[in-house]
Amino acid sequence: MNSLPSFETTAATSAVPTAAVHPKITGRNVNVFYGEKHAIKDVNVDIPERSVMAFIGPSGCGKSTFLRCINRMNDTISICRVTGDIRIDDKDIYDRSLDVVQLRARVGMVFQKPNPFPKSIYENVAYGPRIHGLVKSKSELDEIVETALKKASLWNEVKDRLQESGTGLSGGQQQRLCIARAIAVSPEVILMDEPCSALDPIATAKIEELIDELKQNFTIVIVTHSMQQAARVSQRTAFFHLGILVEEGTTDQIFTNPVDTRTRDYITGRFG
Amino acid sequence: MFLTLFGLVLAVAVVCFFVGRSRAVAVSGANYSALHSLPSYHGWWLVLMAAGPAFAVLVFWSLVSPYLLRPMMLSQFAPQLTEFSAAQLDGFWRDIQAIAGGGTPGVRDAFREEAAAAYQSTNRLSLIAMVALMIVLGAVGFSYAWNAIAVHFRARHRVETAVKVFLAASATVAILTTVGIVMSLLFESLRFFTMVSPLDFLFGTTWTPQQMAFRTDQVGGTAAFGFIPLLTGTLLITFIAMMVAAPLGILAAIYLSDYASPKVRAVGKPVLELLAGIPTVVYGFFAALTVAPFIRNSGQSFGFDVSSESALAAGVVMGIMIVPFVSSLSDDVINAVPQSLRDGSAGLGATKSETIRRVVLPAALPGIVSALVLAVSRAMGETMIVVMAAGMAANLTINPLEAVTTITVQIGTLLTGDQEFDSPKTLAAFGLGLSLFVITLSLNLVALRVVNKYREQYD
Ligand SMILES: Nc1ncnc2c1ncn2[C@@H]1O[C@H](COP(=O)(O)OP(=O)(O)OP(=O)(O)O)[C@@H](O)[C@H]1O
Ligand SMILES: [Mg+2]
């Protein structure tokens, strides 16, 4: 591990991070290819435990792609190839012996586009606990569903219509339903891909509150296009550009004193 | 003659299009944006008004004139025709048409020659009248349309309306044809039910219409028209076929859409669909020569008494035949379930089969149900395999090892060979056809209800 306290980058390799006290997730020389397209280039990153890390960067720079590597969702894309080393709690998640289903139960995900199942609101949230056999009784399940919906600040809007279809909700409600669905299985890590892109400021504030609360127990990685949001919720921030992790550091440092000119240009809105 | 005139109308239409278009350009002073409608709409407008009526006259006259000419000719020669029976009158009419058209008549004599000459001159007159009418209408329409073309003329709206009318007319033709078929089915069935009581038909348990032929003097007699054995036979075979086709088809669809690699899918899907292209008669002899003996032999080795023709053989082979109906449609609907739903489920730690069982299949269920209904209709309508493998014996049984027969097979046997058109034996075919129609229709309605209910709940 590189011990220089520097965030300088070469063209293709991001510096090996140092700041994380106890990394939950570590990525080393991660490369991702979609067929011929090289979408992630030699990314090195440490994501500390029980904290929020934000990925920012212009559209198409590979934030979602990298996020999906962390719970191996890229496995479902046949042309996608991942090389390098990604570890959670020092275990290689691309190891052959690792059970990807278990991994995804530990590393939950909220997708960029809301994707509720065509089932009732209740069944959407109960889905995870059911398949993992987390509950023994109906009342226990009711409890989990209610807690998850409350945490996602959706409970008040849907408590009288739990049996109605989840796809009948508004876009923002659907996104909060997906958040509730993810936290209902109480994962250790939650990956959120622009969870607030369809939400109004009030719901956004509630989700940010939720993220703040969740970080007591969980490790959270969030992709966002809102600089303010990254600044508000995250402890560390990573800036991606064209598949390269340009700069990574504490959120304060990135937003007040970025080292790389590309980072400075991006956060001051000079390009995007 | 018709084709020549049709070609002429078409040529006039093409000319009208260009004339109308350039007229529109001219009135606008080559300033297109001043026109309310694009020049080509004015072209179409002129086509509609000039060639449209002429074309309508042509079609209508050609369809109707034979029906007017025939009574005219017959009444003109009525004195000589008094002895003729209805069939002879038909022959006479055919003969004079053949002579006039330069064909080979059945009989050629001086009287027929004379009649043919008269027919020819009347026909020519009628043709001249028709062409004159076409020209007049075309000219009137042309001059009206020509004068209407102006900068603010709303040709686009007129043309759009005409398109709408044309489409509605096409839909009406299709609907009326269907209604007509159903009506004829209904009326012939009603005639049948005046000869055989509907109660005997619906609840009778013996089906022996063939005995009719020996006892023409005595309607009813030992000929029995009980439809129950046919119904049970049909349902039994359809049930067996669906027991084969539903699981095989749905599982194959799941494999192809979610498990197979793109390469396997690229080969597997067309190969499966190839099954649908095999003629049913080939399935028929496969059933009769391979499957039926196999079932009989293996049945005998277990000590069962299996007839050489059995519902089981026909049903199993029919099931294989309709696998592609189920699999192909189900595969399409399963594929149409968005990948994001699969990702959502996988992201929660569901395995592939959990995802399919709990998310994909429920979302695809309405489509799968319609695939199954289509397959059932297909199975009920299938004739050839049953004839060859299940026999024609109208046994009332639900034992799949016995020979049975189905509604469609009996319709086939009732109408093959020489038949008198008003004997109950022949008309029974319409009764059977009507019952099959009612069964399939209600099946479709029920399935539609189920599908809609499910949609309301989940979509
Ligand atoms: N399934 C795929 N197949 C092929 N190329 C892909 C696929 N998914 C993403 N890419 C490509 O990989 C690159 C990174 O995409 P990614 O979705 O990670 O961007 P992003 O940073 O999340 O952008 P956004 O902010 O717009 O969501 C893009 O150039 C994209 O075209
Ligand atoms: Mg993205």
Coil, helix or strand at residue A257 = coil
What percent of chain B has a predicted confidence (pLDDT) above 70? 95
Whether the pLDDT of residue B322 is over 50: the answer is: yes
Beta bridge partners of A249: A237
* Tens digit of each residue's pLDDT (9 = 90 or more) over B368-384: 988 899 899 889 988 88
Beta bridge partners of A81: A33
Whether the pLDDT of residue A28 is over 80: the answer is: yes
Chain B (232-271) residues lying within 8 Å, Cβ to Cβ, of chain A: 262
Q: Which ligand is nearest to the CA of A58?
A: 1
Tell me how far the alpha carbon of residue A180 lies from the centroid of ligand 1, in angstroms: 25
Binary contact (B458, A104; C-beta < 8 A)? no
* Tens digit of each residue's pLDDT (9 = 90 or more) over A53-90: 999 999 999 999 999 999 999 988 889 999 999 999 99
Contacts of B354 in chain A (CB under 8 A): 131
Nearest to B366 by CA among B455, B442, B446: B455
ipTM computed for the complex: 0.85
H helix count then E strand count, chain B: 18, 0
* Tens digit of each residue's pLDDT (9 = 90 or more) over A200-245: 888 888 889 889 988 888 899 999 999 999 999 999 999 999 999 9
Whether the pLDDT of residue A13 is over 50: the answer is: no
Q: What is the pLDDT of residue A72?
A: 93
Label the pairing between strands A244-250 and A236-241: antiparallel
Q: What is the pLDDT of residue A11?
A: 41
pLDDT-derived band at B222 (thresholds 50, 70, 90) equals: low
Sheet bearing A91-92, strands edge to edge:
A37-48, A23-34, A80-88, A91-92
> Which of B8-17, B203-212, B233-242, B334-343 comes out lowest in average pLDDT?
B203-212
Binary contact (A76, B338; C-beta < 8 A)? no
Specify the residue with its C-alpha closest to ligand 1, atom 14.
Answer: A62
Neighbours of B406 (CB within 10 A): 33
pLDDT-derived band at B457 (thresholds 50, 70, 90) equals: low
Whether the pLDDT of residue A52 is over 90: the answer is: yes
Whether the pLDDT of residue B268 is over 50: the answer is: yes
Binary contact (B344, A104; C-beta < 8 A)? no
Calculate how close chain B gets to A178, using CA atoms only, in Å: 9
Q: What is the pLDDT of residue B455?
A: 66
Q: What is the pLDDT of residue B424?
A: 79
Specify the residue with its C-alpha closest to ligand 1, atom 24.
Answer: A59
Cα separations in angstroms, A247 against A30, B59, B299, B363:
15, 79, 76, 43
Q: What is the pLDDT of residue A5?
A: 41
Which atom of ligand 1 is least distant from the CA of A67? 18
d(CA B323, CA A68): 38
d(CA B430, CA B427): 5
| Better-scored residue on pLDDT, B321 or B399 | B321
Give the one of B351, B354, B359 whose C-beta lies nearest to A117's C-beta: B359
- The pLDDT mean for chain B works out to 87
Coil, helix or strand at residue A86 = strand
Chain A (214-253) residues lying within 8 Å, Cβ to Cβ, of chain B: none
Q: How far is CA A167 from the centre of its chain?
A: 23
Q: What is the pLDDT of residue B276?
A: 84
d(CA B346, CA A76): 9
> What would the two tokens of residue B200 be?
């005997």
d(CA B57, CA B127): 11
Alpha helices for B149-227 (secondary structure H)? 155-195, 198-203
> Among A95-99, B61-65, B254-258, which range has the highest average pLDDT?
B254-258
